[in-house]
Structure 1
Amino acid sequence: MSDENGARTILIADDDRAIRTVLSQALARSGYQVRATSSAATLWRWVEDGEGDLVLTDVVMPDENGLDLVPRIRRVRPELRVIVMSAQSTFITAVKAAQRGAFEYLPKPFDLKELLAVVARALVPQQAVAAPPGEEETGERLPLVGRSPAMQEIYRTVARLTTTDLTVMITGESGTGKELVARALHDYGRRRPGPFVAINMAAIPRELIESELFGHERGAFTGALARGVGRFEQAAGGTLFLDEIGDMPPEAQTRLLRVLQEGEFTTVGGRTPVKANVRIVAATHRDLRQAIRQGLFREDLFYRLNVVPIRLPPLRERIEDIPLLARHFLERAKAAGLPAKQLSVDAMERLKEHRWPGNARELENLMRRLAALYPQETIDADAVAAELFEAEPAAEPRGESPETLEQAVERHLQSFVSAQRDGLPVRDLYGRVLAEVERPLLRLALAATRGNQIKAASMLGLNRNTLRKKIRELDLPVVRGVS
């Protein structure tokens, strides 16, 4: 509904007067008409009367929960979009907002520029859509914890994905919670009535992975005395979580690619195709693009899996979440039967100073240790420092030489040797290793000479034409105008 001058009208419901004032002024400056109230009942009356082109509502209001309004608004006015705002910036809030049909969820405090951008997107004309059927209440347990901007973005992404079956690729360091995200996608998605089946590629012997994934027929190989059901069949109707997908051997990669392309698979030793009725969520701590360059991972499979990428930040990139996580883990330790504990202010500060190479998993283990080993109810900074020191890996003995380039290369090549030993063909190893060394060497030389190929060739001891040829072969970036 526009006014006589064509301005769109925004309806605001928030019990915080300061929020209403700031939003009203910002929207008015952007050319919108604004009506603001502290009451859910008033907002509902405006909606029923046909007022407004967009709704911005808080969650917690004196007379009604703003989330409960969303499905009611969509039933009476399916075209009216709703943006939900909340200081209760948890994963559950984001999921509830998405499941009930909100256009967007914005955690407080929010950036006004971001809010105005969301408002502009929400006002783009849409075709009328049917209101969603009523959904069950989502439980209040927290599968994901954190209020940092990075985690809020993950909450919103996961919340949007719960209404789809899109394939998801989760990346992040070990201990960042990749399986927690995969489980959240399942538990709060439309496949939640089905099973959640996880398989860790790094934990399965290479020669058994295909049988584990796709099953096998009796007599398919030595020891196959009966038909074996694979993880794809076990996960039918639900979600299959492929953890550490970067460790999948080439033969299994080829079969998985076919499943993603055709939507069906055959068991090992079988001939009859079986329909693959699963949602695929994959995860890895490896750099798959580097693995592709090394010939260890199929590029076409990567793009099939990487439909929606989710990167989980390491704990050192979201230090502000540490106090919340620490308290959460202490509560979990208490629920598991360990004594109730709390952390002093100094102890919290000491936690923030640590680098957390093991990420959230390392923090959880530390909280359990502190709860189990220390008698005092309030854990101080000295106890935290002592336990962090004990957990640090032992330093190298003095005088021990650092690893040489030759030793590092030899250690890296062991993976190729192991693959050959396991019966997996390794081809053109000499050329692949040379390419791995040449690429960073030439890239660094060009960077050091600011793209001057004459100087870089001299530095490397190469002919200029040879350098140019290698730049083309390795597809290295070239600084234009510098030769």
Structure 2
Amino acid sequence: MADISSGRVLVVDDEPNALKVLSSILFEEGYAVSQAPNASEALDKVRSQDFDAVITDMKMPGRDGMQLYDDLNTQFPDIPVIFLTAYGTVESAVRAMNRGAFYYFIKPPDYMSLKGTLARAVEERRMKRTLGEGRCSENGCKILGNNPGLKKILAQVHAVRDSSSSVLVRGETGTGKELIARALHYGSIRQGHPFVAVNCAAIPSELIEAELFGHEKGAFTGAVGRRVGRVEQAAGGTLFLDEIGELKPAVQAKLLRVIQEKEVQRLGSNHTVAVEFRLVSSTNRNLVKDVAKGTFREDLYYRINVVEFEVPPLRERREDIPLLVHAFLEEFCAREHKVLFFGDEVMNQLCRFPWPGNIRQLRNVVERAVVLSRGKTMTLRDLPGELTDFDRHGSGTGEQPTLKELEVRTIRDVLRSCDGNKSQAAKILGFSRKALYKRLKDFPLH
């Protein structure tokens, strides 16, 4: 009996012999195979069973393969469809590929190539399911990850989402701090009110005060009319101050008063306006050190840091890299109208890279690879130089690490991301548990 862990496949063909041969080949590969002699019966089976892929002949009496694809694409868009076609219907198969079909083969197919393509199709379907399981979605705010540290943060986000307490989100640049802020807002009772984001590092210091608090006409040179500031715009909702540590002391003092009094005074005005909002701030700085140095107000620090989240860098959640890669690959392939895959060698390299720019850098790398790739399967040649050269250059100090040092570094990072769970780490690294324990015995990781 077939091992269904290889996947469940439906084969559709009106030729009994072709149906029998292909089903037998796939059965030997470990797939659980079902058969259908026509499109109508195939659709009935998909409605009653869960399949990881469908392989269908293009030309069949009655409803043909293209019509079956249209039905599947409408009702079960996540199931990959592979076409078998004669030379005379290649054009139709190409059109189907452009509309999202997974692949096509000319009859009789190269069975080795077909098996490889089917394996990728099944893996992609399973990855989409995993994406769904590892996705936190709050009204369009999607956070991907199965990392224990990230899941803990998401559980805390859920617990405090309806509170009015200020939240501080700490983490390196590119880790997704704004996504946490959006999850807090769009999952809360404030979701029907504005979410107003201000990048404090991107606005010149001489303009940030007017940007936050607004101004009256004539308040300063160039103030040709009244402007409502971002604080007032966030009334009833959430004000997100990204990189709050970049604010100058004078602005910090005015912000502290706004938080304390729940009222704002526009520049050039003698009147205050009552405003109620939830404040969520983020920083990549060590604000405790900034307080000690006197560059960040201690009283403001305690006001903004009632609840604190620290988002882990991508190098500490390497098990989430395949999830993120597949999500970005799906997004950019749809935009560029391409069907592409990352080869195992590329995925391994992506999982090993330290990602100093975190998720933002990973997203940019995937987008670049999709845009520039000319083949179906992306190779190391499609990656930017810093990803393929980092093994030779180490951490950028100019010293070349040994293979042993690289292995120690990778094992240490993965173990940290798994909170010391050796079984999980072995799975991510591609080792057997016995091999991992041997490495742990052969050299220290601390």
- The interval holding the TM-score normalised by the smaller chain is 0.5 to 0.7
**1:237 equivalent in structure 2:** 236
Q: Are 1:255 and 2:272 an aligned pair?
A: no
**1:70 equivalent in structure 2:** none
**2:178 equivalent in structure 1:** 179
Q: Give the drift of 1:88.
A: 6.7
- Please give the alpha-carbon distance, in whole angstroms, between the structure 1 residues aligned to 2:326 and 2:233: 36
Partners of 1:168 and 1:280 within 8 A in 2: yes
Q: How does 1:14-53 map to 2 (within 5 A)?
A: none
Q: 1:215 to 1:152 in 2, by over 3 A?
A: same
Instruction: Give 3-state SS (helix, strand or coil) of 1:175's partner.
Output: coil
CA offsets 1:169-222 (integer angstroms, 9 cap, x no match): 011111101111111111221111111111111111111111110111122122
Q: How does 1:209-224 map to 2 (within 5 A)?
A: 209-224=208-223
Partners of 1:164 and 1:190 within 8 A in 2: no
- Please give the alpha-carbon distance, in whole angstroms, between the structure 2 residues aligned to 1:152 and 1:312: 10
- Please give the alpha-carbon distance, in whole angstroms, between the structure 1 residues aligned to 2:237 and 2:141: 21
Q: How does 1:281-292 map to 2 (within 5 A)?
A: 281-292=280-291
**1:304 equivalent in structure 2:** 303
Q: How does 1:318-467 map to 2 (within 5 A)?
A: 318-384=317-383, 386=385, 388-389=387-388
- Please give the alpha-carbon distance, in whole angstroms, between the structure 1 residues aligned to 2:268 and 2:175: 38
Q: 1:88 to 1:225 in 2, by over 3 A?
A: closer
Partners of 1:211 and 1:230 within 8 A in 2: yes
Q: Aligned to 2:134, which of 78, 90, 96?
A: 90
Partners of 1:239 and 1:278 within 8 A in 2: yes
CA offsets 1:36-59 (integer angstroms, 9 cap, x no match): xxxxxxxxxxxxxxxxxxxxxxxx
Number of residue pairs matched by the alignment: 268
**1:271 equivalent in structure 2:** 270
- Please give the alpha-carbon distance, in whole angstroms, between the structure 2 residues aligned to 1:253 and 1:397: 38
Q: 1:261 to 1:342 in 2, by over 3 A?
A: same
- Please give the alpha-carbon distance, in whole angstroms, between the structure 2 residues aligned to 1:175 and 1:218: 38
Partners of 1:196 and 1:239 within 8 A in 2: yes
Partners of 2:232 and 2:264 within 8 A in 1: no
Partners of 1:191 and 1:239 within 8 A in 2: yes
Q: 1:365 to 1:273 in 2, by over 3 A?
A: same
- Please give the alpha-carbon distance, in whole angstroms, between the structure 2 residues aligned to 1:386 and 1:170: 32
- Please give the alpha-carbon distance, in whole angstroms, between the structure 2 residues aligned to 1:194 and 1:284: 24
CA RMSD of aligned residues (A): 2.7
Q: How does 1:1-12 map to 2 (within 5 A)?
A: none
Counterpart amino acid of 1:274? Answer: V
Instruction: Give 3-state SS (helix, strand or coil) of 2:220's partner.
Output: coil
Partners of 1:167 and 1:281 within 8 A in 2: yes
Q: 1:297 to 1:222 in 2, by over 3 A?
A: same
**1:170 equivalent in structure 2:** 169
Instruction: Give 3-state SS (helix, strand or coil) of 1:202's partner.
Output: coil
- Please give the alpha-carbon distance, in whole angstroms, between the structure 1 residues aligned to 2:267 and 2:141: 40
Q: How does 1:107-146 map to 2 (within 5 A)?
A: 143-146=142-145
CA offsets 1:276-304 (integer angstroms, 9 cap, x no match): 22111101111111111111100110010
Q: Give the drift of 1:90.
A: 3.4
Instruction: Give 3-state SS (helix, strand or coil) of 2:280's partner.
Output: strand
- Please give the alpha-carbon distance, in whole angstroms, between the structure 1 residues aligned to 2:213 and 2:347: 47
- Please give the alpha-carbon distance, in whole angstroms, between the structure 1 residues aligned to 2:269 and 2:390: 49
TM-score (norm 1): 0.52
**1:71 equivalent in structure 2:** none
Instruction: Give 3-state SS (helix, strand or coil) of 1:203's partner.
Output: coil
| Higher relative contact order, structure no. (Cα contacts within 8 Å, ≥ 6 residues apart) | 2
Counterpart amino acid of 1:359? Answer: N
Q: Give the drift of 1:91.
A: 4.6
Partners of 2:161 and 2:184 within 8 A in 1: yes
Q: Give the drift of 1:387.
A: 6.5
- Please give the alpha-carbon distance, in whole angstroms, between the structure 1 residues aligned to 2:144 and 2:390: 24
Q: Are 1:201 and 2:245 an aligned pair?
A: no
CA offsets 1:2-58 (integer angstroms, 9 cap, x no match): xxxxxxxxxxxxxxxxxxxxxxxxxxxxxxxxxxxxxxxxxxxxxxxxxxxxxxxxx
Partners of 2:365 and 2:384 within 8 A in 1: no
Instruction: Give 3-state SS (helix, strand or coil) of 1:321's partner.
Output: helix
- Please give the alpha-carbon distance, in whole angstroms, between the structure 2 residues aligned to 1:323 and 1:277: 41
Q: Give the drift of 1:388.
A: 2.1
**1:149 equivalent in structure 2:** 148
Counterpart amino acid of 1:144? Answer: I
**1:227 equivalent in structure 2:** 226
Q: Give the drift of 1:357.
A: 0.4
Q: 1:391 to 1:216 in 2, by over 3 A?
A: farther
CA offsets 1:46-95 (integer angstroms, 9 cap, x no match): xxxxxxxxxxxxxxxxxxxxxxxxxxxxxxxxxxxxxxxx9975353xx7
- Please give the alpha-carbon distance, in whole angstroms, between the structure 2 residues aligned to 1:382 and 1:174: 27
Counterpart amino acid of 2:322? Answer: P
Counterpart amino acid of 1:314? Answer: P
Q: How does 1:470-481 map to 2 (within 5 A)?
A: none
- Please give the alpha-carbon distance, in whole angstroms, between the structure 1 residues aligned to 2:389 and 2:233: 42
- Please give the alpha-carbon distance, in whole angstroms, between the structure 2 residues aligned to 1:87 and 1:199: 30
Instruction: Give 3-state SS (helix, strand or coil) of 1:207's partner.
Output: helix
Q: Give the drift of 1:334.
A: 2.3
- Please give the alpha-carbon distance, in whole angstroms, between the structure 2 residues aligned to 1:218 and 1:87: 51
Structure 2 unaligned runs (5+)? 1-129, 399-446
